[in-house]
Structure 1
Amino acid sequence: MKLQSVGKASRWYVYQKIVIVFILFLLPLISMNIWLNYKGMSITKDAILNSSLAGASFYSKQLDKEMYFIRNLQLQLLNDKDLQKLSFRGSMLENYEEVELIDQVRDRLGTLTVSSEYVVNAGVYVEAVGKTISTDSGVTNTPNEEMKLISSLMAVTPKPSFYRSGSRIFFIETENNGAVWSYIEISRPKLLEALREIANLYPESEVLLGDKEAGTVLTTAQEPGEPSSILGLLGEESLHKPDAPEMRKIHGVNYFITPNDVSSLHLSLVMYVNQNEITRPLSQFITWFYTLFIIAIIVMVLYSFSVNLMIHRPLTKLVKAFHMIETDNLNIMIESKTKDEFHYVFNSFNNMARKLKNSIQDNYEQKIALQRSQLKQLQSQINPHFLYNSFFNIYMMCKVGDSDSAAELSQRLGSYYQYITRSGADEVTFDKEYRHALDYCDIQCIRFSNRVRFEYEEQTEVPATITVPRLIIQPIVENVFEHAFEDGMMEGKVYIGTEYREGKLCVTVEDNGNLATDVMIEQLSGKLATDSKSIENTGLINVNNRLKLKYGPGSGLTASRSRHGGLKINLIIIPET
């Protein structure tokens, strides 16, 4: 019976899907809670905003009425009969009459000053008598500092609704074609106090008096940039809708802005309140909302944790075990502390891993047996062929009387055959294998009558404890003598070197033969790189397969063009740790 999985592979874990479904069930409840909380907050916030709007409107109207009252008093002063008489008859009056009229005007100015707390100084300039009369400096002949100040302010065109000199604010009116000036200085501290009364309606609220052309006349704000930003918004039509405060963000803070016109000054009185202060009374609603929301989050977290503990962790443990099997690690057993369904799954996995390990072990032992048979077959092939040629060479040396060469060849030959025919361990130290390859080179150089020479490096860096399979270097050297010098070249050379670095052993065999073409080298390199499952009885492929089987894919042989012109074979071994 075949079991099939339906559908495409998912990137989501099982426990994630379960948690998502649970969250989807909770979403309607959370959404209803959010909606109810938002609705309640909106209704309450509107009521608070309407209250703030009414308060700001009341205070701005009171200020506007007070400014109109002061202006009316100023106009009445200009029409005062004593002031008019002093203006028209100033030069014709007797001293006592002039003094009497001036005292009458001073009394009128005093009355005007005490009539409103916003007036700090009231004065007139009468051109006919050449004097200024004020509650602050008294009667002073002109020109004087007060007259010069008022005169400089009157030079401003077009005529503003009020005049400013530094931090001082003045109402200035003229009569009789400029023969009489009336000026009233408005108390800046009192105006600021009035603005602060409006600002005290809510904490963290500020009030400013000004417009886009005149700039900020007065403000309760400590930050210099806020009033300018507020005035920049006054041109928007939405800010001039009655009974409709607008919210704007200034310097990263949301403010509710309530503008009111102060027509007596042709200015706007703007109250702006931090949104957080408006919603502060709603903190109870917010507290309950966040409490319920946190409870929902805790429930979801606890549920997610329980699903993760009971389902995801066992599944993750099983998936990790399968990943370890994919990396050829079969020494793994999953422990189960519970007696649920996962206990059965884990036991089944352990049985599967154990059977797979046994199966691989059996297959590995079969390959080792095959490798040994290949080695024996290689030894049996080397023995007769090489032995016949060597005996013939000894025969020819004896016949020509070269007894020294015959003796040396016989000694090398005996040592050579003693190494390859010795039964016992399949592995030897690298030094023995390397010396055996050098003996083979000595034998071949004698056989070739010294028309072929070899050079080698003493291997001093390779640890003495490293062991390698037998007969892995000599077949590579044999390939050089059989194929590189078939054309009978007179100065053949073989180069043998070793290198051991960072746990990696490399043996290099090169020659200067000219028979290996680029095509042949490329074909040989392709065969060595291919993971061939066929059985090669002799040659480089046999050695390559044995090394890969023993040490893994990183080991084996590679072929390339030698810097000496011939073939270069690299034997790479990464010893097992």
Structure 2
Amino acid sequence: MKSFMQSPRRSIFGKIVMTFLGLLIPLCSLNLFMNESGADAVRSEIVNSMNTKVELYMNLIESDVERIVKLIQAYVNDEDLMKLSTSASIMTDIEKTQSILALKSKLDLFEESSRFVHQVNAFIPLLNRSVTSNDNSITAFDQAQFEALCVTTNRYEAPFLQWNGRLFISVPSSDPVVLEGKEPLFLLTVELSERELRNALRQFTTNGEQAVLAGNHLPWSISSGSESSDSDAGSEKFLVVGKSSSRLDSTLSIYMPENRIFGSLKRYRYWLILLTSLSVAVIIFFAFSIYRIIQRPLRTLVRSLNKVEQGNFNFVLTYPLKDEFGFLYRRFNAMVKELNVLVHEVYEQKYRVRLAELRQLQSQINPHFLYNSFFILHRMAKLHDNENIERFTKFLGEYFQFITRDGVHETTLETEAKYARTYMDIQSFRFANRIHGEFGELPEEIRNLQVPRLILQPLIENAYNHGLENKKKDGWIRVSFRADGGMLLVAVEDNGEELNEEKLQSLCIRLYVPEEASESTGLINVHRRLRIKYGQAGGVSLSLGESGGLRAELRIPLGREEDEHVPAAHCG
């Protein structure tokens, strides 16, 4: 019934609303498609233009860098550089000066050959100096920079090196691998100008575009925008087009804010939103009208059926109009009245059957214990144990005073536990040297809970007579009480050695599928009486204890009786 109320596919009101949505959604979808198609066409044209531009500019940068790589490769065989790197120790000061000036002049020409070259350095370990292309012809030898840049790179696929946030192209005199750990004779480095690269990227971009040149593997990047503009771009969406260069191991990307591209289309999107909003308003108005005419009386009828399903027959539906719903309401009231009569007849019959079965089952428990008590008393009399006979008869008298005092079928849990403990004291006469009994404390909040009589003693008796029957020594029985949420759990556990999985399953079958014709005693009697009183939530569950013996657990709901929706206890 709840699914009928909740599922639009089964609700008449939902079907009507879905029908209108089925008409409205295609129209709105067509408008949205036309708007998005226009946006895609504009996007396609701009992307094609940006692709052409980024490919052209990437080719220009590749050409400049390749020219720099070829020049630096040619300078490796420079005569003055070779002299200073190999023969400086035997050259005169004049010869050194002449070679340095000649090399300085060539490095200056190298620097002027491209606007992307910031500085050219020739590191010469033999001189312990560096010849540079700036105003100072000779500078101090920077060992850290020399070692960092003295790395062989593939100058035709990944020519760049990064050091201290600066970008270099370096060529040693020989491959360090070939030198087997020795320093090269010299190192030529070209430092690229970040400022000129940034200016070039700015020349590439127009109409609000931005460009970024970044390494694919090395973490370097140069942007055409300022730092403030880069930080402001974090919240914007951009259309990005990139071109990757395998010869430079870098990527040139050009991006443009989408607001500049699709700003003109926003007006059409606003109109589409307005049209959709008006359509939704019409549907809401129509749905409200249908709700008042059809859905409200229909929902009242469905809720009434839910009440009938839950067992409530004491109500009458009223409807002021004489239409189809008026007819349904009148017939429904007549049906509920008839059902109320039939249900009361069935319930009264069921109650009488259960009460008769309860009295029959409870009457069977009293002689069962009496038989065992007389056997114990008989054995003590044969031994002339008058002192224990006196104590035993006192305990026995108190116990039978409890079970024969009146015809009440229920007692408090505190009283039930007290006389179960008396029973354990009685059994201690018989098993004093073999079995030790432990009785747990009863929680204060459940002492006055009303429970059926004689539900705990049969579990203790079963542990004595079956679980510990063959236990020669060190046997024990433990009784514990625990309130877990809305359930009271009373456990009786022993450390018997006779139980295994096969025997446990046999007990479970007898407990949960008892034969109707057999006499119900012991665990079965208690289980059936709890089921009669509490329904599927109550009963006895059996399992293997931690020590290998039987653990029998009474399950008593602390809520209302016979709650059919609470899952039953399981065995095993």
Instruction: Give the secondary-structure state (helix, strand or coil) at the position aligned to 2:446.
Output: coil
State whether residues 413 and 447 of structure 2, in contact with CA within 8 Å, keep that contact through their aligned partners in structure 1: yes
Find the aligned partners of 1:421 and 1:492 in 2 and give their Cα distance: 32
Q: 1:539 to 1:302 in 2, by over 3 A?
A: same
CA deviation after TM superposition for structure 1 residue 407, in Å: 1.9
Gaps of 5+ in 2: 1-6, 39-111, 115-199, 212-223, 226-237, 242-254, 561-572
CA deviation after TM superposition for structure 1 residue 463, in Å: 2.6
State whether residues 459 and 498 of structure 1, in contact with CA within 8 Å, keep that contact through their aligned partners in structure 2: yes
CA deviation after TM superposition for structure 1 residue 456, in Å: 0.8
State whether residues 13 and 291 of structure 2, in contact with CA within 8 Å, keep that contact through their aligned partners in structure 1: yes
CA deviation after TM superposition for structure 1 residue 434, in Å: 1.2
State whether residues 527 and 540 of structure 2, in contact with CA within 8 Å, keep that contact through their aligned partners in structure 1: yes
- Equivalent residues in 2 for 1:150-161 (5 A)? none
Whichever residue aligns with residue 264 of structure 2, its letter is Q
Q: 1:405 to 1:332 in 2, by over 3 A?
A: same
Aligned to 1:549: 532
Q: Residues 406-457 of structure 1: CA distance to partner in whole angstroms, max 9, x if unpaired?
A: 2222222222222223433322110111112122222233345664442211
1:251 aligns with 2:279: no
Whichever residue aligns with residue 499 of structure 1, its letter is R
Find the aligned partners of 1:444 and 1:32 in 2 and give their Cα distance: 84
Q: 1:294 to 1:322 in 2, by over 3 A?
A: same
Aligned pair partner of 2:12 in 14, 20, 28 = 14
Gaps of 5+ in 1: 1-8, 43-154, 158-212, 234-248, 257-273
Aligned to 1:117: none
Whichever residue aligns with residue 19 of structure 2, its letter is V
State whether residues 510 and 564 of structure 1, in contact with CA within 8 Å, keep that contact through their aligned partners in structure 2: no
1:381 aligns with 2:381: no
Find the aligned partners of 2:341 and 2:498 in 1 and give their Cα distance: 48
State whether residues 317 and 333 of structure 2, in contact with CA within 8 Å, keep that contact through their aligned partners in structure 1: no
State whether residues 330 and 354 of structure 1, in contact with CA within 8 Å, keep that contact through their aligned partners in structure 2: no
1:300 aligns with 2:283: yes
Find the aligned partners of 1:519 and 1:255 in 2 and give their Cα distance: 78
Instruction: Give the secondary-structure state (helix, strand or coil) at the position aligned to 1:406.
Output: helix
State whether residues 493 and 512 of structure 1, in contact with CA within 8 Å, keep that contact through their aligned partners in structure 2: yes
Instruction: Give the secondary-structure state (helix, strand or coil) at the position aligned to 1:459.
Output: coil
Whichever residue aligns with residue 479 of structure 2, its letter is I
Q: Residues 257-300 of structure 1: CA distance to partner in whole angstroms, max 9, x if unpaired?
A: xxxxxxxxxxxxxxxxx5359x79xx9xx97x988766544332
Find the aligned partners of 1:218 and 1:438 in 2 and give their Cα distance: 95
1:430 aligns with 2:413: yes
Q: 1:349 to 1:404 in 2, by over 3 A?
A: farther
Aligned to 2:440: 457
Aligned to 2:496: 513
Instruction: Give the secondary-structure state (helix, strand or coil) at the position aligned to 1:16.
Output: helix
- Equivalent residues in 2 for 1:14-163 (5 A)? 14-22=12-20
Aligned pair partner of 2:399 in 391, 408, 416 = 416
Find the aligned partners of 1:482 and 1:217 in 2 and give their Cα distance: 99
Q: 1:352 to 1:426 in 2, by over 3 A?
A: farther
- Superposition RMSD on alpha carbons, in Å? 5.0
Find the aligned partners of 1:382 and 1:445 in 2 and give their Cα distance: 21
Find the aligned partners of 1:20 and 1:531 in 2 and give their Cα distance: 54
Aligned to 2:554: 571
CA deviation after TM superposition for structure 1 residue 519, in Å: 0.9
Q: Residues 336-383 of structure 1: CA distance to partner in whole angstroms, max 9, x if unpaired?
A: 454344455456556656665665565555455444434433444344
Find the aligned partners of 2:28 and 2:471 in 1 and give their Cα distance: 94
Whichever residue aligns with residue 20 of structure 1, its letter is M
Find the aligned partners of 1:20 and 1:378 in 2 and give their Cα distance: 60
Whichever residue aligns with residue 299 of structure 1, its letter is V
Q: Residues 222-249 of structure 1: CA distance to partner in whole angstroms, max 9, x if unpaired?
A: x4649x999x99xxxxxxxxxxxxxxx9
Find the aligned partners of 1:363 and 1:535 in 2 and give their Cα distance: 27
Instruction: Give the secondary-structure state (helix, strand or coil) at the position aligned to 1:431.
Output: helix
CA deviation after TM superposition for structure 1 residue 526, in Å: 5.0
**Percent of residue pairs identical:** 33
Find the aligned partners of 1:27 and 1:458 in 2 and give their Cα distance: 69
Find the aligned partners of 2:514 and 2:368 in 1 and give their Cα distance: 29
Find the aligned partners of 2:499 and 2:454 in 1 and give their Cα distance: 24
Q: Which moved more, 1:414-423 or 1:525-534?
A: 525-534
Instruction: Give the secondary-structure state (helix, strand or coil) at the position aligned to 1:500.
Output: strand
State whether residues 459 and 523 of structure 2, in contact with CA within 8 Å, keep that contact through their aligned partners in structure 1: yes
Instruction: Give the secondary-structure state (helix, strand or coil) at the position aligned to 1:553.
Output: helix
- Equivalent residues in 2 for 1:306-325 (5 A)? 306-322=289-305
Find the aligned partners of 1:341 and 1:472 in 2 and give their Cα distance: 57
- Equivalent residues in 2 for 1:340-359 (5 A)? 340-346=323-329, 348-349=331-332
CA deviation after TM superposition for structure 1 residue 487, in Å: 3.5
Find the aligned partners of 1:290 and 1:568 in 2 and give their Cα distance: 69
State whether residues 504 and 543 of structure 2, in contact with CA within 8 Å, keep that contact through their aligned partners in structure 1: yes
Find the aligned partners of 2:8 and 2:314 in 1 and give their Cα distance: 27
Instruction: Give the secondary-structure state (helix, strand or coil) at the position aligned to 1:253.
Output: helix
State whether residues 551 and 576 of structure 1, in contact with CA within 8 Å, keep that contact through their aligned partners in structure 2: no
State whether residues 460 and 492 of structure 2, in contact with CA within 8 Å, keep that contact through their aligned partners in structure 1: yes
Find the aligned partners of 1:292 and 1:353 in 2 and give their Cα distance: 49
The count of corresponding residues between Structure 1 and Structure 2 is 363
Find the aligned partners of 2:406 and 2:543 in 1 and give their Cα distance: 35
Q: 1:321 to 1:542 in 2, by over 3 A?
A: farther
Whichever residue aligns with residue 275 of structure 1, its letter is S
Whichever residue aligns with residue 19 of structure 1, its letter is V
Find the aligned partners of 1:553 and 1:443 in 2 and give their Cα distance: 33
1:537 aligns with 2:535: no
State whether residues 321 and 332 of structure 1, in contact with CA within 8 Å, keep that contact through their aligned partners in structure 2: no
Name which one, 1 or 2, has greater alpha-carbon Rg. 1
Instruction: Give the secondary-structure state (helix, strand or coil) at the position aligned to 1:489.
Output: coil
Aligned to 2:264: 275
Instruction: Give the secondary-structure state (helix, strand or coil) at the position aligned to 1:428.
Output: strand
Instruction: Give the secondary-structure state (helix, strand or coil) at the position aligned to 1:497.
Output: strand
TM-score w.r.t. structure 2 length? 0.50
CA deviation after TM superposition for structure 1 residue 460, in Å: 3.4
CA deviation after TM superposition for structure 1 residue 402, in Å: 1.8
State whether residues 397 and 406 of structure 1, in contact with CA within 8 Å, keep that contact through their aligned partners in structure 2: yes
1:471 aligns with 2:477: no
CA deviation after TM superposition for structure 1 residue 468, in Å: 0.8
Find the aligned partners of 2:273 and 2:538 in 1 and give their Cα distance: 64
Find the aligned partners of 1:383 and 1:276 in 2 and give their Cα distance: 91
CA deviation after TM superposition for structure 1 residue 462, in Å: 4.0
Q: 1:224 to 1:447 in 2, by over 3 A?
A: closer
Find the aligned partners of 1:362 and 1:407 in 2 and give their Cα distance: 54
State whether residues 412 and 447 of structure 2, in contact with CA within 8 Å, keep that contact through their aligned partners in structure 1: yes
Find the aligned partners of 1:534 and 1:520 in 2 and give their Cα distance: 22
Q: Residues 27-59 of structure 1: CA distance to partner in whole angstroms, max 9, x if unpaired?
A: 89x689979xx99xx9xxxxxxxxxxxxxxxxx
TM-score w.r.t. structure 1 length? 0.50
State whether residues 486 and 559 of structure 2, in contact with CA within 8 Å, keep that contact through their aligned partners in structure 1: no
Find the aligned partners of 1:338 and 1:536 in 2 and give their Cα distance: 61
Find the aligned partners of 2:386 and 2:342 in 1 and give their Cα distance: 59
Q: Residues 502-526 of structure 1: CA distance to partner in whole angstroms, max 9, x if unpaired?
A: 3431111112222222211133235
Whichever residue aligns with residue 446 of structure 1, its letter is F
CA deviation after TM superposition for structure 1 residue 467, in Å: 0.8
Find the aligned partners of 1:525 and 1:361 in 2 and give their Cα distance: 35
Q: Residues 199-227 of structure 1: CA distance to partner in whole angstroms, max 9, x if unpaired?
A: xxxxxxxxxxxxxx9975997x6x4649x
Find the aligned partners of 1:214 and 1:406 in 2 and give their Cα distance: 112
